[in-house]
Amino acid sequence: MSTISDLLDEIKSLLTIGSAPYRSTADLSDVYEGYIFSLIVSTASRNGASVSYEDVYGTKVNKLVFRTSPGQLYGDSQPFTHALIEFNGAPPLEVHLGVRVQGTSGVLHECDVLVLPAEEAELSRVQRIAPRGSQCLLIVECKYYTSTLDIGLARNFEGLRADIRTQDELFVSNIGSPSIVRYLAARKRGYERDVVPSSSQTEYLQAEIRKSFRKFLSKHTPSVVI
């Protein structure tokens, strides 16, 4: 079982930063979300994207501050950090932690990790409204548990996915659950289990993330190959 120190070390390594973007009181589940965020950013970088970090005001930053509770993308109670990802010739993307998006029903949903067009994120900040889930590229539901994963988690994820309707969605956990495997497989939903530092499953997750970037690029800059 990975410790907070393991996850924090991996976050710093993947993001090539000097200090961890969490306070010492952060929960394991929060840090796990940051770890998945880091895998997304690292995948983009490995596939030729330039990556930088900004706060909610659009200022470039080197010291990162990650959320440990859900909030609005435009929330400015603290200078929370998001990643800016730019593939050559394609519209820029942003990666956020713990922000709410609007579903097709008009209901707001929390996304553990969210990848969306920078244009949609900027609209959220300017108009102070939640971004539209239908305009987003990828949502990742992150579950870090020290005991069995309950099937209710997968059912909740299915409800989230059905209302948000992003391009892609993934359910990711640090441990496995046969019932969740069966449930999500029957619905053709993405599920990567046992994703922890140094596990082979990490590479499988990054392969799925790469597929999401490839779909995005095929629509905007099909000449770019990743």
- SS3 call for 110: strand
The CA–CA distances, whole Å, from 151 to 28, 155, 174, 180, 191 equal 21, 7, 15, 6, 13
If you search the block for the tokens 């990490």, which residue do you land on? 202
**Interacting residues of 28 by C-beta distance below 8 A, sequence separation 6+:** 4, 7, 144
Is the model's pLDDT at 188 over the cut of 90? no
Kindly tell me if the per-residue pLDDT of 1 is higher than 70: no
Sheet (strand 168-173) strand order: 50-54, 82-86, 93-102, 108-117, 138-143, 168-173, 190-192
1 and 15 Cβ atoms separated by less than 8 Å? no
Write down the pLDDT at residue 24: 65
Task: Evaluate if pTM is beyond 0.75.
Answer: yes
**The predicted structure's pLDDT at residue 4:** 87
Going 32 to 100 to 47 to 83, the CA torsion angle's sign is negative
| Residues 3-58 pLDDT 10s | 888 999 999 999 998 787 887 677 899 999 999 999 999 999 999 999 999 999 99
Q: What is the pLDDT of residues 157-183, one digit of tens each?
A: 988 888 998 899 999 999 988 999 999
What is the per-residue pLDDT for 93?
A: 98
Mean pLDDT of 194-216: 95
Q: What is the pLDDT of residues 111-122, one digit of tens each?
A: 999 999 999 999
Nearest-angstrom CA–CA distance, 100 and 130: 6
